[in-house]
Structure formats: C-alpha cells, structure tokens
Amino acid sequence: MTSQDNMPMTRAEKRQARRIRRFDNPWMNPKLTWGVAILLGIVAIGIIGRFVWNLDLVFTGSAPLKLPPLGAENLRGQPGVMEYPLGTDGAGRDMLALIIVGAPNTLFVGLLASLIGMSIGIFLGFSAGFIGGRVDDVIRVGADVMITIPPLLILVVFQSAFGDVTLTMMALLIAGFVWQSPTRLIRAQVLSMKQSGYVQMAQLSGASTTHIMFREMLPNLVPYLFGSFIASVTTSIVTAVGLEVLGLGPQRIPTLGRTIYEAINAGALIQNLWWWWGIPTLLLGVMFIGLLLINLGLDEVSNPRLRKLS
Amino acid sequence: MKFTRKLLASSALAVVASVSWAQDVSRENTVIFDLDRTIQDPENFNWMTPGTKRMHGAHQTMWEPLFILNYGTGDLDPWLATGFDQNDDSTEFTIALREGVEWSDGEAFNADDVIFTVNLAMTNEEISSREAATIRAQVASVEKVDDLTVRFTLQNPNPRFIVENFGVRIFGSFLIMPEHIWNGEDAATFAFNPPIGTGPYTFTSAASNRAIWDRNDDWWGAKTGFLGLPAPQRVIFLESGGEESRAQLMASNQLDAAQNVSIGTFEAIAAQNPNVIAWYADYPYSAADPCARQLEINTTVAPWDDANMRKAVAHIIDRNQIVNVAYEGTTTASETMFANYGSMAPFIDAVVEAGYGLPASADVAAGQTLIEATGWTRDGDYYTKDGETLSVDIHVNSASTEYTRTIDVVVEQLQRAGIDARAVPVENGVFWGEVLPFGTYEMSYSWLSCGSVNEPWASMGRYTVKDLVPVGERSPGFNNTARWDGDRAEAYSAVVDEIATRALGDPEVPALVAEAYGHLDAGTPFIPLVQAAKLLPMNETYWTGWPTAENYYNHPFFWWNHTHQIIHNLEPAGN
C-alpha cells in the first residue's frame, strides 16, 4: 500500500483518467452517446406513449378541431386543454397521439430501408471487391448507373402509380435507392484490405472465400459499416419525409411527413396553427441532429485522428 | 460554349419580352380569378372534347351563352338570345337571337352558327362533352326560320329544354361555335386555335397554370348598347395550388377571387386583409352550391354490386360528423339527393314523407346487420368472407381539402364499422377525365346527381338505364356513372321518364318523385352526404361589385358560364 493510493485524485487527474478511459474505448464518445440517447428517446416516446395515451385519437374526427397546445391560444381565442396537451389538428386528430405513432413510424421507415439497402450493399460490395473480374464490372457499373438516377423522381412516379402504400412497401421502394453508396464504399475498402497480410495469410491457409469475406474482413469494417448505415438512414428518412410531404406516403398511417403535408394543404400557416406543422418539423429536426451526432461519433471510432484531446 | 451563350441570350430575351408584355396592363386594370386545376392542353380550345377547355376563362370571358339562369330571381336573363317560344306539349322551341352580335373577327353571329354547332353535336358520335351529349339525346332536328330565329324539334317533350341546354343552369351551357371557322373540321379532333368568340375578351395566351384574356374594345355589346364594355382590361385565370397558397395570394392581393377555402382559413385571410369578403358578411360566410355531395358507388364491382351492401354503407355514414369535421359546421346534412333550395322543397318533402329521407346520424348496427346478412363475419378489425377482407378504395379528387377531408371522415367511419376503407386521392384532371367517366373506381366522392334547381328531373334523370354503359366506356355526360342496372333501375327509369314529360309545376310530380325515390332508395347507386357550401373569398382591393347575398345579381361560382355577369358588374375600387 503506497501513500498514493489513499490520496484523492485532483480534478486534473480525474479528467485525465476519464480521457484515457475514453481512448481505451472509442465507442464511449459523447457524440455517439448523445446521438443514441436522442434516437432512443424518440423510440421511448413511441413505446411509453402506447401504454399511457389513447391512440385512437390519431384518427380523423376523434377530437375537437384546431385546439392549441396547453398554455397557448388559437385565432378563435380557445385555450389549450389537458385532454389534448399538444393541441389538435384541423381534422380533429390529437397531436400527441400523432407524434406517439408517427415519429417511430418515420424512424422505422428509415431504419428498415437502410437495413435492406445496407445488406444489399454489403453483399454486392464484398462480392465486387473480393471476387473482382466480371462480377466487379457488372456490380460497379450497376451501382454507378443507379447512383446517377435521382431517387425522389422515380419514387414519386412509383408511389403515384401504387396509390396508397404501407410503411414496409415504402421502405422497400426506398431501399432500392440506398444500396449504391455502401456498395461502392465497401468495395473500395475490400480492395485495399485484400492486400493486407492477414487476408493473404488466410488465403494461403486455404480458407474459403466466404470465410475470408465475412469472418476475417467484415469485423474490421464494422465502424465503416455503421457510419455508412447511419448515413443511409438519414438519406432514407429524408426521402421518406420528402414523399410524405408531397402527400405520397401512406394515407391513413400517421407519419411526421404526412402531418406536415396535411398542415400545408389545409392552410395551417395562414391560420397560425403553428403546432400542427411546427411540432413534427421540430421532431424531424431533433431526429436528424441525433443521426448526425451518431455519424460524427462513429467517425471518431473509425478514424482515430479525429479523437482530440479535449 | 457558343450554344450556351445563344441559349442564355435567348432566355434573357424571353425574360425581357415577358416582362414588357406583363407590363402592358397594370394590376388595377386586371382581375385575377383562381383556377382549381391544371390546364393539361392549353393549346386546345375545342370544348366538345374532354379536358380543361372552358372553365379557364374561355366560357367566362370569350364564349357567351344564349341565356343565363338568374339564381336570385329564377328568371332566364337573355344574353345572345332575346327570348324563346314553345308549343303546348314542349316539343318545339323557337329561339330569337339578338341582333348585331359579332364574332371577335367581325363576322356576324346568326342562326347559321347555331344550326351548324347543334348539327355538329348531333351527327358526330365521338364528341363526348356533357353539353353536346345532352343535345344529341334530346334534339330531333333544328331549322333556320330566318337569320335571327332558330326552331328546335325535340325527340320527346321537354319543358326544361332551354334552361337545361342554353341557360347556364349548372356550370355551363351548349356553346355556339363560329361556322366560318369550324366548317369542314372534324369536331372530335379540331383544336380551334386561335379561338374566337362573341365575348368582350379575346384569348391572349395560356400555359398549364394560367390563361390570359384581354378586352376587345370593339365588342358588339358596347356598339349595340346591350351592355357597356366591362371595366377590367385583362382577365387572368391562375392555378393557385392548395388552400395555403390560395390564402397567401388572397392576403397579398395577388388574387381577386379564390376557390373554396375552409372557414378557419377565410377568417385568417380576412384578419390579414380586411378587403376580402365572402357571400355573407358573417358566419357561415359561404354560398349554397346546388351540387350536393355524394358517395358514388360502382354497382358492377363485387361486393358492392349487392344493393344491401350499398345500403349498409349508407347506414354507417354519419353525416353530422362530416358537417362538423370537414365543413366545420358551415353546411348541413343532405336528406335527399337534391339541393336544399326553397324551390326544391315540394319534392324533398314528398321524399321525406314517403320515408326515404336520410338521417343525419349513423345507425352502424343496422349497417352491420345488413353486412352480416350477406355472409360476412367480423374477424378482428374487419369483416371477412372466404378468407377475403371486406375492403373498399374510395377515389377522391385532391383539388380541395373539402373533398379529401370528407372522404377521410367517411374512411374512418367505415373502418370503425369493420370495412377496410382507404382514400385514393387523384389529381383533378385525372379524376374527371379518367376515373369517373370510365367507372374505374369502387366508390368515389362526387356530386353527379347535381342538376335540379327548381324541378326534380334534371337530377333524377342522371341515373336512368338509358345512359347505362359498361365499365371502360365513357358515361354519356357523366350520367349513371354508378352503372346502375336491373329491375329496380328499370322501374326507377320508367317513373323518371314519366316525370320528364310533365310541365313545370304539375301537381302530380311530387308523388311521382316519391315513387321513383323508393326504387332509388332500394337500389342505392349513390349515397347523398351533405349539402355543398362554397366559401369563396373575394377581394375588394382592386375591384368591387362582387356577387354577395346583399348584391344578389347572381351566384358567385366564377368557374361557371354566367361569370360574364360578374365581370360586367365589377368596378374599379380606385386603389
């Protein structure tokens, strides 16, 4: 036992200790933590809300029209009431219920679309990079061609043709446009990684192609994959919200984008029904900030040079 | 590089040109009306073919009707004609045309033009517009008595012949075209560009979102003393988009008359721009539209080909909720298919007394009993039969929140009763051009029993078996788009044909209406929903003299053929 053990650490020492711990575990950086917390918060609103709030209030005509949030007043001078704490929209839907159902829906479309897109991307990217030759040519050209097509344009046509779509359907459609970037990114990483010693060693020891691809190389790509995944979640949500704001998403399933569409369509701006378009817009903003933070955090994980001493 | 420069230069030129052209007429000499649809074919002015070819200013400024039904007085105001005579059994009508009427190219308008245009509609089967189809169905022959007199001989007695075809009773009228230009052209394909008319305005330019009409200072009406030149030098019909942009344009004086808005939006506009008025100065502000809203059902599509299923839906619909949510209380529930006008009261009363009046509230249990009686069983949220879920797509025109929100309410009501309903919003042009006339829907939101204003036949006559066509073929004049068929429909048609021959004011008609309505109620090819009310903001910043309840020279529906009267009544506000 030395005297040092008993001595309390000074503040500076504590900070340094924390910093060192953070270096040890790059996944514990504050950006990542905050980003994940924000997204989990939105999911939590959805989950907890389902137990404590009456979700039938998301349907047309289930509440009085155009009530303001608590503490505010609408143009007719009606005050907000406890039954509808965030106010109601012009079709008699409760804003709180809309958010409880709509916000996770928006997140769900983004996650599902990029999960599918990423899976396709990982598979194609590895195949192109590792197998090479004709396979590489076909996949590379395919991805390059697809990347030049503006997704919103195609999706608008698709959705107009389909009419009403489900959330899953919409995610599938969007997934068709988010696999190209991961494919290219992973292909590039695989090409450079192929030359590294451990891969060549594995090849020499006779490991199968799939074993090398998914057991040896994939784990090293995890931070990249996460980064790419979050980026495509953002893209997917932007695309989904874009479609919804144009009125092309699901008709009866509440989403944040559709709520904004309906607000604009019903003249909410001129009637000063700010809660109708403002709350979903705010939530979307928070959601994107959360995704951005996660992305920045993951960058620090995969790129040690970004980890600064603070 | 050279090409880019050329392109830049030419686009700069175009900008300069359009600016200088726009400055020709100042804002205070221009009246701007709101257009609720895209002009899909702005180069085509053949009103006899489908599309936006008359309500973008053409029949409000350039083409004039023979008569205009005055909703305030109930009279036919003479316009291009001065009057008419009819024989006792209403099979022969003689119209006297006004002297001195000229086309804008200087040619005289006379009986030859009328006879030529009517013959076009009668002989060319490809012409599909409602007005032309009605003429084809009614007229046996038309002859010239002298240059200013035309005699029509009808196939069947029709006391309403003039008001129905030439009187702007609902929306339009049969428009007379210049023989010296149309002669030798195929009326089904002729584009009629540049168009001419007898009206005080001539066509200047059009694009998919606007049409511009400029005053013809050499107009015949001013020369003959019929009416003075209208005050606005230029009339623009501008597609405003949704309610929000409509409201912003109105608040910032970039629009003089807007299409329907909700009451909240109107109050907001009026708060920002005190010059904006509506039909009534106070709540409910809106004017009663003669086209009551309804849910049209395609009676050829299972399971809605079963009248009991259609009746079930009728029971499930809660009209009060539609009034409260979609109209914010500014209209009333429909009791019958008719518009609740005082002049329609005898017929509405007869129907209600016979027990066919519709309740304002729902009887969901009665509806569900009917559904269950046809073999459907409730399985969780929805009814199912043979593994199939009871579902319905309801097509709705997306041009107005009034339409979409009504259907949102109906969808909710059906969902709660166990029918997996969903709304399918469709663009205005597609809705009227493809969905409704060809029957490519299960249910749709419409007002196709619109027609009756002071007698029952115009509305009832739209659902007879005479107009029955299969799905995929165009319904003549949007009549019987429900494709209602069978014994009930036959019996209904027989009574309605009987009503058609009766003179206006025949005391037996209300009883006949009740009898026909019994068949209609049993068949339910459509479900009346609510009365239509139009809240049309009108801007007094640049123009005064808009039609209002206090200044009731006619109704304010400025997309109709009678808008000539509105434009003639406008006066500069002096701002």
DSSP A251-270: SSS--HHHHHHHHHHTTTTT
Q: Cβ–Cβ contacts within 10 Å for residue B387, how many? A: 6
Query: Is a pLDDT exceeding 90 seen at residue B210?
Result: yes
In a domain, A90, yes or no: yes
* Cα separation, B171 vs B290, whole angstroms: 10
Sign of CA dihedral B546, B549, B551, B555: positive
Please, are residues A204 and A117 in contact by the beta-carbon 8 Å criterion? no
Q: In which residue ranges of chain A is pLDDT below 50?
A: 1-3, 310
For residue A215, is it left (φ>0), alpha (ψ between -120 and 50) or beta? alpha
Please, are residues B524 and B311 in contact by the beta-carbon 8 Å criterion? yes
Please, are residues B140 and B90 in contact by the beta-carbon 8 Å criterion? no
Please, are residues B288 and B340 in contact by the beta-carbon 8 Å criterion? yes
* Coil vs helix vs strand at A140: helix
Contact B247 A59 (CB under 8 A): no
Place of tokens 């123009």: B543
Please, are residues B292 and B452 in contact by the beta-carbon 8 Å criterion? no
Instruction: Report in angstroms the alpha-carbon separations of A262 from A90, B203, B537.
Output: 9, 36, 21
What pLDDT does B558 receive? 96
Nearest by CB to A265, which of B243, B269, B321? Answer: B243
A217: phi then psi, degrees, rounded to nearest 5: -90, -40
Give the lowest-confidence range in A292-306, B180-194, B305-319, B507-521: A292-306
Identify the H or E element spanning B20.
Answer: helix B2-22
Contact B423 A251 (CB under 8 A): yes
In a domain, A18, yes or no: no
* Coil vs helix vs strand at B395: strand
What pLDDT does B9 receive? 44
Q: B471 or A19: whose pLDDT is higher?
A: B471
Among chain B residues, the shortest Cα distance to A164 is held by B424
- Helix%, strand%, coil% for chain B, nearest 5: 35, 20, 45
Residue A98: CB partners within 8 Å, gap ≥ 6?
A58, A89, A254, A259, A280
Interface test with A, best of B249, B318, B405, B415 (most A CBs within 10 A): B405
Nearest by CB to B409, which of A60, A252, A265? Answer: A60
- Total domain count for chain A? 1
**Token pair for residue A179?**
């696999």
Distance from CA of B447 to the nearest CA of A (A): 22
Chain A residues with CB under 8 Å of B408 CB are 60, 91
Nearest by CB to B247, which of A76, A163, A270? Answer: A270
What is the residue type of A258?
A: R
Contact A266 B272 (CB under 8 A): no
pLDDT bracket for residue B280 (50, 70, 90):
very high
**Token pair for residue A5?**
């053990």
Place of tokens 């106070």: B282
Residue B133: CB partners within 8 Å, gap ≥ 6?
B121, B127, B476, B477
Average predicted confidence (pLDDT) for chain B: 90
- Give me Rg for the CA atoms of chain B: 24
CA atoms within 13 A on the CB side of B308: 10
What pLDDT does A308 receive? 59
Give the lowest-confidence range in A213-227, B254-268, B340-354: A213-227
CATH 3.40.50.300 fits B73-179, yes or no: no
What pLDDT does B1 receive? 39
Question: In chain B, which segments carry CATH 3.90.76.10?
Answer: 73-179
Please, are residues A274 and A87 in contact by the beta-carbon 8 Å criterion? no
CA atoms within 13 A on the CB side of B54: 24
Query: Is a pLDDT exceeding 90 seen at residue B144?
Result: yes
**Token pair for residue A306?**
């970004």
**Regarding beta strands B67-69 and B76-78, do their DSSP bridges make them parallel or antiparallel, or are they unpaired?**
antiparallel
* Cα separation, B306 vs B524, whole angstroms: 10
For residue B292, is it left (φ>0), alpha (ψ between -120 and 50) or beta? beta
* Cα separation, B426 vs B445, whole angstroms: 11
Please, are residues B358 and B319 in contact by the beta-carbon 8 Å criterion? yes
Please, are residues B478 and B437 in contact by the beta-carbon 8 Å criterion? yes
Residue B321: CB partners within 8 Å, gap ≥ 6?
A61, B362, B409, B413
Nearest by CB to A164, which of B262, B412, B424? Answer: B424
B507-535: buried (b, 16+ CB within 10 Å) or exposed (e) per residue?
eebbebbbbbbbbbbbbbbbbbbbbbbbb
Angle (CA) A18-A20-A26 rounded to 5° is 95
What is the residue type of A28?
A: M
* DSSP category for residue B32: E
Task: List, in sequence order, every residue forming a beta bridge with B143; answer none if it has no partner.
Answer: B151
* Cα separation, B472 vs B300, whole angstroms: 12
CATH number at residue A213: 1.10.3720.10
Nearest by CB to B248, which of A59, A270, A273? Answer: A270
User: Is A169 an 8 Å CB contact of chain B?
Assistant: no
Please, are residues B57 and B237 in contact by the beta-carbon 8 Å criterion? yes
* DSSP category for residue B239: E
Query: Is a pLDDT exceeding 60 seen at residue B8?
Result: no
Please, are residues B170 and B447 in contact by the beta-carbon 8 Å criterion? no
**Token pair for residue A304?**
């040690």
Question: In chain B, which segments carry CATH 3.10.105.10?
Answer: 289-532
CATH architecture for residues B289-532: Roll (3.10)
- The interface residues of chain A toward chain B in range 68-97, judged by CB-CB distance below 8 A, are 75-76, 90-92
For residue B529, give the nearest of B396, B415, B416 by alpha carbon.
B396
What pLDDT does A94 receive? 94
Mean pLDDT, to the nearest integer, of B330-337?
Answer: 92
What pLDDT does A78 receive? 87
Please, are residues B570 and B543 in contact by the beta-carbon 8 Å criterion? yes
Interface test with A, best of B249, B318, B325 (most A CBs within 10 A): B325
Sign of CA dihedral A222, A228, A229, A231: positive
For residue B390, is it left (φ>0), alpha (ψ between -120 and 50) or beta? beta
pLDDT bracket for residue B12 (50, 70, 90):
very low
Contact B272 A270 (CB under 8 A): yes
Among chain A residues, the shortest Cα distance to B402 is held by A266
Among chain B residues, the shortest Cα distance to A90 is held by B325
Distance from CA of B394 to the nearest CA of A (A): 11
**Token pair for residue B26?**
């100042």
What residue spans of chain A are helical by DSSP H?
3-6, 11-24, 30-52, 95-126, 133-147, 151-162, 167-175, 180-194, 197-204, 209-210, 218-245, 256-265, 274-302
Residue by residue, what is the 3-state secondary structure of B321-362?
Answer: HHHHHHCCCCCCECCCCCCCCHHHHHHHHHHHHCCCCCCCCC
What pLDDT does B368 receive? 95
- The interface residues of chain A toward chain B in range 33-52, judged by CB-CB distance below 8 A, are none
User: Is A285 an 8 Å CB contact of chain B?
Assistant: no
* Cα separation, A88 vs A174, whole angstroms: 31
Domain enclosing residue A157, as ranges: 52-295
Please, are residues A240 and A258 in contact by the beta-carbon 8 Å criterion? no
Contact A271 B265 (CB under 8 A): yes
Contact B412 A59 (CB under 8 A): yes
Nearest by CB to B321, which of A61, A90, A272? Answer: A61
Among chain B residues, the shortest Cα distance to A66 is held by B264
A182: phi then psi, degrees, rounded to nearest 5: -55, -40
